[in-house]
Chain A
Amino acid sequence: MDLLEFARGPALWFSLFVLVAGSAWRLIAIFRLGTKADLAEPRSTRRLAGALRGIFVRMIPRKEFRRGGKLGVYAGYFYHLGLAAIVFGYLPHILFVERLTGLAWPPLPETLVYLAVGPAIIGLLMVLMERLTDPVLHLLSGLDDYFSWFVVFLPLLTGMAAVSGSYPQPTLNGAPLYPLPLAIHLLSVELLFLWLPFGKLAHAFLVFMSRGVTGVALARKGAAL
């Protein structure tokens, strides 16, 4: 078994298993903590509406908090949107998902995906610089923050290497990519899968829970979300 076979085979399936099982464990363990029913008479009983509003309203900062804040307020949009375009819009990624699950969707134009790499990388570098230099972020940060940044940034780098013009046949038009950079790229993504359930990257799913429960609680009071 060569490295690419390993990356496409056992390493992929193991990392996916850890991703799914670890995420499920984290969610179930939190659900099992339970919560007491709120006995105060609510102003609004529209719990689902409160949760959904909580989830969507926080996607954009309130105007009072937009100025004078952290760079991350804006850089966050750059790399989240950039990564989304790359992960879900790039044809080879869609083909990869289709091979695994049978699901596919129309890709974004390749130029647009390449253009998205810039904001993603710049956004990630900006938040790293800020984390290293801003006194607040420096105080809050720990190993999880830096390692999580690393496992997100690494697939971007290895992915760029995998499609780089220095390797022959860099597209998927019938011919495989040069195997070593592709294997390294896959392994870097699998490292991300392995880490995601255990660190702050789990905010990918926890954010909906956190915003949702706060949305419900504040909506009960009729307070601002």
Chain B
Amino acid sequence: MNTPATVPTALEKRARAVLASAAAPDARVAAQEFVAQVSRDAAFQLEACVRCGQCADACHFYLVTRDPRYTPVYKLRPMLRAYQRERAPFAAVKGWLGLPPAEVTAAELAEWSELVYDGCNLCGRCTLACPMGIDIAGLVRRAREGMSAAGFAPADLYKAAERALDSGSPIGVGWPTLKRQIEIQEQETGLDIPVDVEGADYLVILSSIEIAAFPETIGALARIFRQAKLSWTLPSAGFEATNIGVQIGSRDVAAALLARIVDAAERLKVKYVISPECGHAYSALRWEGPNLLGRPYPFKVVHIVELLDQLAREGRLRTRGKDGRRLAFHDPCQLVRRGGITAAPRRVMRGVSERPVDMPSSGEANFCCGGGGGVSAIRRAEKLRFAAFECKKQQVETAGAEALVTACANCRNVLEDAIDDYHMALPVLGLTELVAQYLEPVAAKASP
């Protein structure tokens, strides 16, 4: 079971209460949550803005539309105003003088819903560019808490969150589907794929996109772990790595979904949980998770790319041959810019690529695929998402890449969609699968 317990936990109840807000949007609730989100660090950042506009030139949504409303810091305006009205250092004085900033309104928040969700991937390129050091993407993530709690998030994200709470997956992928894919991969690889093995070292979780669209990843992992002689397992419950809660911006939804993974890891007494090829899943599990649950984990979180890199450097991952195409690595924002894993994927890719090429601004300043931060799940945002891909397209063409490699199934899906929309011919490969493709063959057992 990847689904909630029959009796909903307190976390699940709170999560469902957030989703119920979609039926009756309330600007006052949004304002209260905006204010609650402004901690000391967030306040220092909000107060330091000098309105220089440099963040606009870092944002692909602004660069392709030239619509100033997509300026990253402008997306924070309702949250900033609520904070200035209620809690900023001179809010009380302004109140006494009869000069408080206006209250945020429902009409305003309905307009900002498009800016905060459709027009922001939480990719953090603006954060990197801000001369004041304001973590704009982190603040947009906080602003989404107010938007989602008050019913102003896009309907598609509320629906996806409901599906995730109901079935365990935002696209409705349950255990029967994963079980079937495991069986297919066992047939294709001739390997046993362990499920619910208590005491295994590594717990592997997956994203729904991998299970539904790229199931070969499961077989690739089995082959890699066999060569590296790792003790590992998949869980039959709590296998979904994606977390729609961090995308819609609800800590309650995020915590409820995350708790299922943590339950599985604790039940199976693993030492490590491997975050799969999914950027935001890594961010949710590795960086937000312990804070969402209010306690440190009794296990370590490792991204699959970190593990591949470690195994290769220890000589436990041996490959033979290389891909001859000009391969460029597309950096998933949550993994690289926001997650601190920059060098590892390139090292791993170079191990199996004869002609690796770098796109302009590759690494930390790379452009997002356009679908991060939940944007790929918002149907009304599709046109804007494809428009934003123009920035990535220019990078790809400048590098002369013949194929892209990435370490995020959502990036891969979004890139394939956009490539199709632009009538380009450019394969997008998953790094784990690419490595598995070039694994040194296992020597046949000697006959007795």
Binding site for B on A (CB under 8 A): 25-26, 29-36, 38-41, 43, 54-55, 58, 61-62, 64-65, 68-70, 72-73, 76, 134-142, 145, 198, 200, 202-203, 206-207, 209-215, 217-218, 221-224
Contacts and interface: CB of A to CB of B under 8 A. Distances in A.
Contacts of B301: 41
> Which residue among A38, A200, A210 has the maximum number of chain B CB atoms within 10 Å of its CB?
A210
Contacts of A145: 51
A212 B190 CA distance: 53
10 contacts: A26-B89, A26-B90, A30-B44, A61-B129, A72-B54, A200-B50, A209-B44, A214-B41, A214-B133, A224-B365
Nearest to A141: B51
B87 A33 contact: yes
B47 A26 contact: yes
B54 A65 contact: yes
A50 to B, nearest CB: 11
A154 B130 CA distance: 28
A210 B45 contact: yes
Given A40-B286, A61-B131, A221-B287, 13 more contacts: A26-B47, A29-B88, A35-B40, A36-B39, A41-B290, A41-B300, A61-B54, A136-B53, A137-B51, A140-B51, A214-B133, A214-B135, A224-B337
A189 to B, nearest CB: 21
B47 A140 contact: no
Interface in B77-96: 87-90
B74 A139 contact: yes
B73 A140 contact: yes
A123 to B, nearest CB: 13
B392 interface: no
Contacts of A224: 128, 337, 340, 342, 363-365
A126 B74 CA distance: 22
B295 interface: yes
B294 A39 contact: yes
Contact of B71 (A41, A54, A65, A139): A139
A152 B370 CA distance: 40
B290 A206 contact: no
Contacts of A64: 361, 365
A138 B300 CA distance: 48
B52 A54 contact: no
B376 interface: no
Nearest to A223: B340
A217 B41 contact: yes
A207 B132 contact: yes
Contact of A137 (B38, B53, B132, B365): B53
B291 A25 contact: no
B54 to A, nearest CB: 6
A210 B296 CA distance: 27
Contacts of A36: 39, 291
A32 B141 CA distance: 22
Given A35-B39, A206-B48, A223 B68 contact: no
Contact of A33 (B40, B138, B286, B289): B40
Contacts of A30: 40, 43-44, 47, 89
Given A36-B39, A41-B296, A217-B135, A223 B337 contact: yes
B395 to A, nearest CB: 11
Given A58-B130, A58-B133, A223-B339, A200 B49 contact: yes
B428 interface: no
Nearest to A73: B54
Contact of A202 (B47, B73, B130, B135): B47
B441 to A, nearest CB: 35
A58 B132 contact: yes
A222 B45 contact: no
Contact of A25 (B87, B89, B337): B89
B62 interface: yes
Contacts of A141: 51
Nearest to B130: A58
B48 A210 contact: yes
B273 interface: no
Contacts of B53: 70, 72, 134, 136-137, 140
B326 interface: no
> In this complex, which of A25, A29, A43, A213 has the most chain B Cβ atoms within 10 angstroms of its Cβ?
A213
Q: Which of B74, B134, B288, B342 has the most CB of A within 10 A?
A: B134
B127 interface: yes
A41 B301 CA distance: 9
B401 interface: no
A55 B44 CA distance: 13
Contact of B291 (A40, A62, A70, A223): A40
Nearest to A206: B48
A222 B296 CA distance: 19
Interface string B318-359: 000000000000000000011111100000000000000000
A39 B296 contact: yes
Nearest to A134: B53
B128 A210 contact: no
A73 B301 CA distance: 39
Contacts of B138: 217
A68 to B, nearest CB: 6
A153 B286 CA distance: 48
A40 B300 CA distance: 10
A68 B133 CA distance: 20
B131 to A, nearest CB: 6
Contact of B68 (A29, A32, A55, A139): A139
Interface string B283-320: 00011111100111100110000000000000000000
